[in-house]
Amino acid sequence: HRVKKFIYASSMAVYADSPRPDPLPESYLTAPISPYGVAKLACERYALLVASQSGFDAVALRYFNTYGPRQTYTPYVGVVTIFVQRLLRGEPPVIFGDGEQCRDFVYVGDIVEATWRAMACDVRNEVLNVGSGRGVTVNQIAALLCARLCPEISPQRAPEHPGELRNSVADITRARQTLGYEPQARLEDKIDEVVAWNRGIV
């Protein structure tokens, strides 16, 4: 089909857990702790291998915790969307474990920009992190959303989920150098977009 370049949407779930919320470079240990992460890592390797053997280019982009309007609601992904929808229904957000899990929340517009740059520029056979480069805890997300939407509601606590990374923050140095990628959005500034979209569907 004359494919010249294949962009694979990978995930931060390919990494081993980190004991500290330090930014993880692409060279960090890939030892997934969930079936999802195992599948993503396997597909990365298939894509890069097949591309090298078949004469086209491949790039694997490891997306971190993406958020934004139009995100599909499921019980398993998109903690920002899950919390927003619960609060709009007058229900408390549920925090699993102590809430100090640290994540890199990256706006969908920045994901699109990085993906377009990977497609358009002369990068090949690379694996790149795509995130904001900034860590935010689940407790901080819950506090921000409760304050914006329902200050009278406090989060509920539940036992931690097995197979959940404790710390996952992107080192985006390579994406900056290779793609000229620079995230533009800040979570605090984009939450209102997420809220506005979800008000129309809750």
* Token pair for 12: 């931060």
Tell me if residue 181 is catalytic.
no
Report the greatest alpha carbon distance in the chain.
59
Helix axes 138-149 and 187-199, enclosed angle (nearest 10): 60
- Which one from 28, 36, 67, 181 is the annotated catalytic residue? 36
Residue 162: predicted pLDDT: 79
Residues 110-169 pLDDT 10s: 999 999 999 999 998 999 999 999 999 999 999 999 999 999 999 999 998 877 889 999
Residues 26-64 pLDDT 10s: 999 999 999 999 999 999 999 999 999 999 999 999 999
- The residue-averaged pLDDT of 98-109 equals 96
In this structure, what are the phi and psi dihedrals at residue 104, rounded to the nearest 5 degrees? -105, 105
Residue 172: predicted pLDDT: 98
Q: How far is CA 158 from CA 94, 96, 120, 142, 198, in A?
A: 7, 5, 44, 14, 24
